[in-house]
Chains A and B, each alone.
Chain A
Amino acid sequence: MRQIETAAITRAVKEAAIAANYDLGKDLLAALQRGEQEEESPSGREIFRQLLENASIADTERVPLCQDCGLAVIFVELGQEVQIVGGDFEQAIQEGVRQGYGEGYLRKSLCHPLTRANTGDNTPAVIHTEIVPGDRLKITVVPKGGGSENMSRVFMLKPAEGRAGVIEKVVTAVKEAGPNPCPPIIVGVGIGGTFERAALLAKKALLREVGSPNPDPELAALEQEMLQQVNDLGIGPQGLGGRITAMAVHVLMQPSHIASLPVAVNIQCHASRHKEAVL
């Protein structure tokens, strides 16, 4: 068994939370640059230009990319040959979020759902842990903004609705969201599993590098078709009208019950932030 100290986990989460909020990924930067070149609408091109400038200011002036520093969603892949020592694993992650959002001057955006009282330190994070082969611990911090999360949907389709029904729901979700989730967006789609698994797949799909093809040719074709139809909506950057409503559609799929066809659409704003740490 390889031992990993909880203190190292806290440190990794803290650093990833800060880095994710200040430094836009290279894939996203490339996608924004492509957008600035390819967008036909003048106001759309101006939005891409502003977003590139925003990323540059965030980097040089150390201002978060967006004031909504997100609810910290944490994906953990825990190698089965790893033993966590020195304390409680989940508490170590929460402590990392607490320190990252505090020391990183990030906005604390969590509250009691009913009284709306702020929890004060952006905890609790939402943690998804998977046990995998090996002796490594991979932690991905995904600060998820509220505006785009609010526009996300889960649909329980009839199996007869099939592939066309799935595409239609994805397009519907994006259309109804319109300008609200800060387009140009990334669309995460989860197909299959159960009600909650479809939603988790949709969120996980957002982690794939923007611009990289889906390794499954069937899903790659589906993504292309969805992207085309989403962009035909004409919503464009910030909803002002344009060709690029979404920079990418990412799909993850797994078998579902013979009675079901769950489809989840997790909408991600252009500030698609995630940072990975491997211990």
Chain B
Amino acid sequence: MSKTVKLTPPLTDKDVEVLEIGDRVLVSGVIYTARDAAHKRLVDLLAAGKELPVDFKGQILYYVGPSPARPGRVIGAAGPTTSYRMDSYTPTMLQLGLKAMIGKGKRSPEVIAAMQQYKAVYLGATGGAGALISQCIKKAQVVAFPELGPEAVHRLEVENLPAIVINDCKGRDLYELGVKEYRRTADTNIEPTVCR
């Protein structure tokens, strides 16, 4: 039975272990943003033996490139971007102690395995609900790579940002299991299921 869990980083192994696929989470506190361009910069810095602009240990990374804020507003629309573009960088980020990622769409088997190894979770926010999610963001500040524009790393203060556990640290995938329940076609890769 799925449950609703409030999450506030920094997260520990224990915080992550209780989360199971299908659980609703409400994220509050400080989280960081990065898309693929920022990930590349971070991984390049590491490779060059340089210090990262953010300590990701216990943190939550939100894959988002917000639209510009109107004057007097905190941020523009801020929904998740598709996560697979970050996959090649993610095991490195998890090794640094990153505990959760918020995005949308499938992750690679390597990322799912790394989440098991390092005890981390992948959370899905509603793609295309950028206006709705923007209401949960109370503060936003660029903390690295401002030249990347919308792809810069932002520090966000959020309140009850809603997401759902897609991959837990036990290697399970909500996208596989959720779809199985409603699939009406036979499939050679996945066992056919009974129609509801």
Bind each other: yes
Interchain CB contact (< 8 A) of B175 among A53, A66, A178: A178
Q: Among B43-51, B108-116, B180-188, which stretch is in contact with chain A? A: B180-188
**Contact of B184 with A232 in the complex, beta carbons under 8 Å:** yes
What are the residues of chain B within 8 A of A40 when measuring CB–CB?
182, 196
Interchain CB contact (< 8 A) of A179 among B64, B73, B106, B135: B106
What are the residues of chain A within 8 A of B77 when measuring CB–CB?
58, 63-67, 69, 107
- The A-contacting residues of B in range 59-105, CB under 8 angstroms, are 64-70, 73, 76-79, 81-82, 84, 104-105
Map CB proximity to A onto B113-138 as digits: 1 under 8 Å, 0 otherwise: 00000000000101111111011000
Interchain CB contact (< 8 A) of B180 among A43, A234, A239, A269: A234
**In the complex, what distance in Å separates the CA atom of A120 from the CA atom of B148?**
10
**Taking each of B105, B128, B164, B175, which has the highest tally of chain A beta carbons within 10 Å of its own beta carbon?**
B128
**Contact of B130 with A241 in the complex, beta carbons under 8 Å:** no
- Say whether B178 faces chain A, with CB atoms less than 8 Å apart: yes
A interface size (C-beta, 8 A): 52
**Contact of A180 with B128 in the complex, beta carbons under 8 Å:** no
**Contact of A178 with B65 in the complex, beta carbons under 8 Å:** no
Interchain CB contact (< 8 A) of A64 among B105, B130, B177, B179: B130
**Contact of B178 with A236 in the complex, beta carbons under 8 Å:** yes
Q: Which residue of A lies closest to B126 (CB)?
A: A50
B130 to chain A, nearest CB (A): 4
- Say whether B37 faces chain A, with CB atoms less than 8 Å apart: yes
A185 to chain B, nearest CB (A): 10
- Say whether A221 faces chain B, with CB atoms less than 8 Å apart: no
Map CB proximity to B onto A186-230 as digits: 1 under 8 Å, 0 otherwise: 000000000000000000000000000000000000000000010
Interchain CB contact (< 8 A) of B130 among A67, A179, A243: A67
B interface size (C-beta, 8 A): 47
- Say whether B10 faces chain A, with CB atoms less than 8 Å apart: no
**In the complex, what distance in Å separates the CA atom of A64 from the CA atom of B131?**
6
**In the complex, what distance in Å separates the CA atom of A90 from the CA atom of B184?**
48
- Say whether B29 faces chain A, with CB atoms less than 8 Å apart: no
What are the residues of chain A within 8 A of B79 when measuring CB–CB?
66-68
- Say whether A47 faces chain B, with CB atoms less than 8 Å apart: yes
Q: Which residue of A lies closest to B71 (CB)?
A: A105
**In the complex, what distance in Å separates the CA atom of A61 from the CA atom of B74?**
12
Known contacts A67-B78, A178-B106, A229-B185; 20 further A-B pairs (Cβ under 8 A)? A41-B178, A41-B181, A47-B126, A58-B131, A63-B67, A65-B128, A65-B131, A66-B129, A66-B131, A67-B65, A67-B66, A67-B81, A106-B68, A107-B77, A147-B127, A179-B124, A179-B175, A182-B128, A234-B185, A239-B105
The 8 closest A-B pairs by CB, nearest first: A241-B178, A234-B182, A234-B183, A182-B127, A180-B105, A232-B184, A107-B67, A67-B77
